[in-house]
Amino acid sequence: MDVEKHLIIVKGEDKTQSIQECEYKDSKCMITYANNKTYSYNPRNVIWLKNPKLLNPETTRVYINKQPFSEVKKIVNFGEYVRIFFVNGYNIVYHRNEIIIKEKSFNNSDIKSSDVISCYDYLKHLSTQISIRDEDEKSFLRKQYERINYVNPSSVLAKYINPIELPKIKNNILSIFPFGFNLSQKTATKKAFSEQISIIEGPPGTGKTQTILNIIANAIINEKTVAVVSNNNSATANVLEKLQEQGVDLIAAFLGNNENKQKFFSEQTHLYPDMKTWYLDNKTYKDLEQKLLISKIKLEEHLEIKNKVAIYKQELSALLVEQEYFNTYYDENNLRMEPYRSIFKHNSDTVLKLWLKFKQLIESDRAISLSYKLKNLLLYGIVSFSFYNNSNEKIIALFQKLYYENKAAELSAIINNLNGRLESFRFDNATEGYTNISMSLFKANLAKKYMKNKERKVFTKNCLWKEKDFKQFIKEYPVILSTTHSLKSCISNNYLFDYVIIDEASQVDIVTGALALSCAKNAVIVGDLKQLPMVVPKKEADLTNKIFNNYKLNKAYNYKNNSILSSISELYSSKVCKTILKEHYRCHPKIIGFCNQKFYNNELIVLTEEQERHNPIVVYKTAKGNHARGTYNQRQIDVIQQEIIPKLKNHNTMSSVAIISPYRKQTNKLREKENETNIEVDTVHKYQGRQRDIVILSTVVNEINEFVDDPNLINVAVSRAVDRLILIVSDNEKIDNSNIGDLVKYIQYNNFEIIDSKIYSVFDLLYKKYTEQIYEQMKNRKKVSYFDSENLINAVIEKVLSELQFANLNWVIHKPLRMLIRNPDKLNSEEYKFAMNILTHTDFVIFNKLDKMPVLVVEVDGYAYHANNPRQLERDKMKDTILNKYGIPVLRVATNESGEEIKLRDKLNQVINSNLSKEDRH
């Protein structure tokens, strides 16, 4: 019978093609077969369907297990059953419950289908212009886009060109971590399996590859397929290398370009690795699973402790540096005195309270009475009443000094206590044990999967394009490693991986990124927007921008301004799940400390040890003069060869040293000179993803420009150094207000090189705790003062400094003038007396986080207190004069006026964009 018009299923089997005639007779179904033999059947055993509906394969897609059928010639819909005809002449019947039928269109109430089509057409248009070329010079990307005859609604590409609410995925799987883990990596791995799109932000040295490997392992044990892609082969080769180290690379096919494919398919063998020792019986497997669950709770608890130790160490390190600067202030101002005696042991909080209460007492012009002394005796156990005979300046300075000493001792005690708990737990053994059990379970799964086969099937390259063969291939190699632009050429048409992981996504453009997303049911985007983005040549940027302007699309789709990481981040904003990998394992704490403060808002948890090393960060300033010739600088080359390298040769192997620079010409010149050594020389861009124990960074230019001062470039350059960073800059004051200038300030501050300044750095940590004490006294009402005017301006400062352009600024309240003025030589006797009074304070000091030096003083002129108070106006005038003498800009804000935010923002921009006052400070 005509299989396009009839469907006859006998006892559950399609017999249509072999039936000549069918009729119902005497409560029986009489079927005559092609051999002319007739049989009678109970009608309950026969399903006879007629008058089907034809579906157009051009506009209809049929899926099984979420994978679309390809090369479909005809779809005949019988209602309960569907017959599918393929181009090769084969046809098969499916029950309607086995398959999903969808129209090839986007239907969403929030976005018009034409907009979605426009976005896809835009990407396809771009693919004809992007300069990835194959051998015949036809656009390689265009060929890949031509293979997409249909955007699968289940793919991540569909969500990318039509950014609607992302579905949540229920996930109750047991997570294993055979490649080790920390708390951030654990969260990132879990999110990868509960979100259709997840972003993993991986700052330098935070274990992005380790996270990717754990995602792969969890996908494989749950019988999922994975593609790992990047814009280059080195990132995916690194993943393969880590799999090889553990002997589990049998799951992966390193494909991509034709050369990689040729190598992979030519090197296949029939042999599997020996997996006998990997096999676990069911009982052993279940026991290990249970052991993993039990140990996981304790391990996570101690991972928290490990992170706390690192955070406390960071705090202690910063405190000790600041304490050194405070001790200089303390000694230079002859503030030494005998400390008070107390019958109680005072902690740092108690000392802060004593300081705050004493300051409030003297500000009220009240004498230090007997009742005050008795109250301190009762509350704080202070028995030495003679202590109060010292000057106010000395008493407050002693409280401040004691704060540093007590706080440092408290932090050290906490660190020792927590380290003791880690040692008792045998933390290193526990983490290694957990990792080993995870790896045993992973390998047991692989043994179960592969050991049932006697030998491994050897495939040819053609299997990638034949659907039936590819199904076998992907079952054998469930992990495909490829470049982003080549992934589509490594799979059969319309195939969807369960997971596509895009590594180094900040360097993947939206066109090749979208290609990878077209192959993904779920996507994990791994990268860091604060490291170097992709480089778009000017000609390409101009051309793609012109194309973009012809389409009315979200700016997130602008090719020249976006990587796939920034594009998805912009499109989905807070709606996409982002995990920051916070634990850092690469650099000396002082090195990564700059990146942490400058770029990562101090969110990184530095797990490297701050061992005693001689200046892990150093700056060389070359003599003033125009030594730069375009994009190379002979003076900096001379300093490297004649001063730096000879010193390093005495203590280091040259293979552990790298010289990097923003400019290719500088590296070429250096390479000519260093060709007899093992020193690596390369540009910063080429060095992303690499590291060396010692890194020498040559900035080249005499005057800072946008290219050299790019924050992403500085971040990458600094974080390449493991043990030591040596920075070479020209001694030019114009670097002051720049990212390189901030790096110089950070190095000088941490090396205690701010010795020729006429002003003191701000004691940030001291005054931060002081402010917290005020908050506590004001019952946590976020008030820093009893004056509403100061509380108002404090809120304004907080809001303005939260803006990205002012991210490297912070502020303190009520910093005494005497703690800013280091050398009072510029002051006359009246000014000196005024400035050195401990009660003469600024309202707010805004300072640079990197060297703690003041940037701007903000003074609040309360109308009632200032307008009709000639003496106060005179004091304000004197304060302004003193600050101006020392090059510290002042902004006065009157509370009876408006526009405080605008005034503050404008003043900060003015100060930051000028070199005002630098010579007055030295």
CATH of the domain at 883: 3.40.1350
Per-residue model confidence as pLDDT tens digits over 197-241: 999 999 999 999 999 999 999 999 999 999 999 998 989 999 999
Based on the domain organization, do 779 and 904 belong to the same domain? yes
User: Does the pLDDT value for residue 920 go beyond 70?
Assistant: no
574 in a structural domain: yes
Same domain, 731 and 616: yes
Q: DSSP code of 426?
A: T
pLDDT digits (tens, 9 = 90+) for 887-909: 999 999 887 777 889 999 999 99
Residue 141 is predicted with a pLDDT of 87
Q: Is 643 contained in some domain? A: yes
Tell me, yes or no, whether 464 and 555 share the same domain.
yes
For 63-67, 216-220, 409-413, which range has the lowest pLDDT when averaged over its residues? 63-67
Are 519 and 412 found together in one domain? Answer: no
Task: Give the 3-state secondary structure of residue 223.
Answer: coil
> CATH no. for residue 570?
3.40.50.300
Residues 96 and 175 in one domain: no
Helix (H, G, I), strand (E, B) or coil at 819: helix
Statement: residue 107 has pLDDT above 50 = no
For 239-295, the pLDDT digits (tens) are 999 999 999 999 999 999 899 999 999 999 999 999 999 999 999 999 999 999 999
With pLDDT > 70 as the criterion, what percentage of the chain qualifies? 93
pLDDT, position 136? 45
> What long-range pairs does 773-777 form, CB within 8 A, spacing at least 24?
773/349, 773/352, 773/353, 773/356, 774/356, 774/813, 777/356
What pLDDT shows up at residue 453? 87
Q: Is the pLDDT of residue 520 over 50?
A: yes
| b (16+ CB within 10 A) / e for 387-416 | bbebebbbbbbbbbbbbbebbbeebeebbe
Would residue 655 count as lying in a domain?
A: yes
Token pair listed for 323: 């304490």
Write the DSSP symbol of residue 139: B
* Whether 398 and 480 share a structural domain: no
pLDDT in tens, 330-359: 999 999 999 999 999 999 999 999 999 999
Could you tell me if 649 and 621 lie in one domain?
Answer: yes
On whether both 531 and 632 belong to a single domain, the answer is: no
* Whole-number Å distance between alpha carbons of 692 and 471: 43
Indicate the SS3 state at residue 106.
Answer: coil
Q: What is the pLDDT of residue 110?
A: 38
The per-residue pLDDT for range 658-694, each reduced to its tens digit, is 999 999 999 998 888 766 677 899 999 998 888 999 9
pTM of the model: 0.86
Instruction: Work out the pLDDT band at 786, boundaries 50, 70, 90.
Output: low
Q: How far apart are CA 198 and CA 189, in angstroms?
A: 10
> Where is average pLDDT lowest: 94-98, 210-214, 217-221, 406-410?
94-98
Give a yes or no: residue 281 inside a domain. Answer: no
Evaluate if residue 780 carries a pLDDT over 60: no
Q: Are 620 and 723 in contact (CB under 8 A)?
A: no
CA-CA distance, 291 to 287, in Å (whole number)?
Answer: 6
- Residue range 152-172: mean pLDDT, rounded: 85
278 in a domain, yes or no? no
Report how far residue 784's alpha carbon sits from residue 792's, in angstroms, rounded to the nearest whole number: 10
**Residue 917 — pLDDT band, cuts 50, 70, 90?**
very low
Residue 723 near residue 616 (C-beta atoms within 8 A):
yes
For residue 919, pLDDT beyond 60: no
- At 523-565, the pLDDT tens digits run 999 999 999 998 888 999 999 999 999 988 999 999 999 999 9
Same domain flag for 205 and 331: no
Percentage, residues of the chain above pLDDT 90: 68
- Across all residues in the chain, what is the average pLDDT? 89
3-state SS assignment for residue 207: coil
β-pairing, 28-33 vs 197-201, is unpaired
Residue 769 lies in a domain: no
Q: Among 583, 603, 635, give the residue marking a domain's end.
A: 583
Range of the domain at 410: 306-425
For 807, residues 6+ apart whose C-beta sits below 8 A from its C-beta are 598, 601
Question: Is 531 or 612 the better-scoring residue by pLDDT?
Answer: 531
**Same domain flag for 910 and 781:** yes
* ∠ Cα 250 251 254 (to 5°): 85
Alpha helices of 755-849 — where are they, by DSSP H? 764-777, 788-801, 829-836
Q: How large is the average pLDDT for residues 435-440?
A: 96
> What's the number of domains the chain is made of?
5
What pLDDT score was predicted for residue 351?
Answer: 96
Tokens of 855: 């940037």
Residues 146 and 241 in one domain: yes
Q: State which amino acid sits at residue 39.
A: Y
Are residues 625 and 656 both part of a single domain? yes
| Amino acid present at 701 | V
Do the domain assignments include residue 277? no
Mean pLDDT of 302-330: 96
Q: Lowest mean pLDDT: which of 94-103, 429-438, 730-739, 895-904?
A: 730-739
Tokens standing for residue 837: 């009074």
Whether 285 is in a domain gets the answer: no
Give per-residue pLDDT as tens, 112-157.
Answer: 466 787 899 999 999 988 876 544 445 788 888 888 877 888 899 9
Q: How many helices (H) and strands (E) does the chain have?
A: 29, 33
